């Protein structure tokens, strides 16, 4: 039985290769690492419209297949952090702890997303004369809402994206009972530092570590630093 098992979950628009350097750093420290390929990213898109719950169920099944009855940690970056929250809030039986890094779904909830996508659906009908103008206006909306990933989706993954980003994860936070490490770049524009502070205020068993001059790509740019931080934190739990 090992207490050094961990699942790494990447953000939307990323892939497993983005977290390979972090995986390598963990393996150097003696961890067994699961870096699952997710439906709609490196695996075929789901046949139905998945939300964060469906992704978390899939990740749990993959973890049990790899680690068996042994406990494991879950690290989630951005979208992956949302999956980690949902996983930890629903059933923490085999979970040693959660690491949330620049997690989405905290400060921008359902009302903003619904307004955005309703507006997007209407832009071509209300006052835009040409497809070129419609496209330019949509890009302005994407930029205003900081949702460039939506523009890149197609097919069922566009519906998956809308479902994922419209979910407010604040209620799920209150159901997390396992130790939680919060890692955040102080210059993150995608997921502001206030989100990290909010998570810290909600979770009594949590620790917040911030990094100066770092933005949303923290785990991709500082894999060695994060692996060592997580290693130290995990040892302090015993």
HEC states along 40-56? CCCECCCCCCCCHHHHH
CA atoms within 13 A on the CB side of 64: 11
Query: Do 61 and 120 sit in the same domain of this protein?
Result: no
Contact criterion met (CB below 8 Å) for 82 and 15:
no
pLDDT band, residue 231 (cuts 50/70/90):
very high
Q: Considering its fold, how many domains does the chain have in total?
A: 2
Residues pairing with 32 in the sheet: 5
Among the residue ranges 60-69, 99-108, 195-204, the one predicted with the least confidence is: 99-108
Query: Do 115 and 232 sit in the same domain of this protein?
Result: no
**In terms of residues, how long is the chain?**
238
Q: Which residue has the tokens 């970056």?
A: 77
Query: Do 54 and 138 sit in the same domain of this protein?
Result: no
Q: Which residue has the tokens 């103008």?
A: 133
Query: Do 48 and 95 sit in the same domain of this protein?
Result: yes
pLDDT at 146: 47
Query: Do 10 and 67 sit in the same domain of this protein?
Result: yes
pLDDT at 150: 63
pLDDT (tens digit per residue) in 88-145:
998 778 999 999 999 988 875 444 544 555 455 444 444 455 566 555 655 555 554 4
pLDDT at 125: 47
Contact criterion met (CB below 8 Å) for 171 and 90:
no
Tell me which residue of 55, 63, 61, 60 sits closest to 82, measured CA to CA.
55
Query: Do 38 and 97 sit in the same domain of this protein?
Result: yes
pLDDT at 115: 53
For residue 108, CA distances in Å to 4, 11, 54, 185, 237 come to 34, 16, 21, 18, 32
pLDDT at 238: 76
Neighbours of 137 (CB within 10 A): 17
Query: Do 60 and 20 sit in the same domain of this protein?
Result: yes
Query: Do 87 and 190 sit in the same domain of this protein?
Result: yes
pLDDT (tens digit per residue) in 151-179:
677 889 989 998 998 888 999 999 999 99
pLDDT at 187 over 60: yes
Query: Do 18 and 129 sit in the same domain of this protein?
Result: no
pLDDT band, residue 83 (cuts 50/70/90):
very high
**The CATH number of the domain where 43 resides is what?**
3.40.50.1820
Query: Do 21 and 73 sit in the same domain of this protein?
Result: yes
Q: Which sign, positive or negative, has the C-alpha torsion 7, 66, 64, 231?
A: negative
Query: Do 137 and 24 sit in the same domain of this protein?
Result: no
For 152, the domain range is 110-161
Whole-angstrom distance, CA of residue 214 vs CA of residue 222: 9
**Rounded to an integer, what is the distance from CA 230 to the centroid of its chain?**
17
């Amino acid at each position: 039985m090992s207490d050094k098992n961990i699942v790494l979950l990447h953000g939307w628009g990323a892939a497993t290769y983005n977290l390979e350097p972090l995986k390598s750093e963990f393996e150097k420290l003696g961890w067994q690492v699961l870096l699952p390929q997710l439906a709609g990213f490196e695996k075929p898109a789901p046949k139905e419209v998945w939300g964060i719950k469906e992704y978390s169920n899939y990740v749990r099944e993959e973890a049990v297949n790899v680690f068996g009855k042994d406990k494991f940690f879950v690290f989630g970056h951005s979208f992956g952090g949302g999956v980690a929250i949902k996983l930890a809030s629903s059933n923490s039986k085999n979970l040693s702890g959660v690491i949330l890094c620049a997690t989405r779904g905290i400060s921008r909830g359902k009302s903003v997303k619904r307004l955005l996508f309703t507006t997007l659906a209407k832009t071509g009908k209300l006052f835009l004369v040409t497809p070129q103008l419609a496209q330019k206006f949509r890009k302005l909306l994407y930029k205003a809402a900081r949702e460039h990933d939506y523009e890149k989706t197609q097919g069922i993954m566009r519906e998956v994206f809308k479902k994922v980003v419209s979910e407010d994860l604040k209620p799920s936070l209150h159901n997390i009972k396992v130790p939680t490490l919060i890692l955040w770049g102080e210059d993150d524009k995608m997921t502001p530092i206030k989100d990290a502070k909010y998570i810290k205020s909600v979770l009594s068993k949590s620790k917040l570590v911030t990094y100066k001059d770092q933005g949303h790509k923290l785990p991709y740019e500082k894999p060695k630093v994060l692996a060592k931080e997580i290693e130290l934190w995990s040892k302090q739990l015993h």
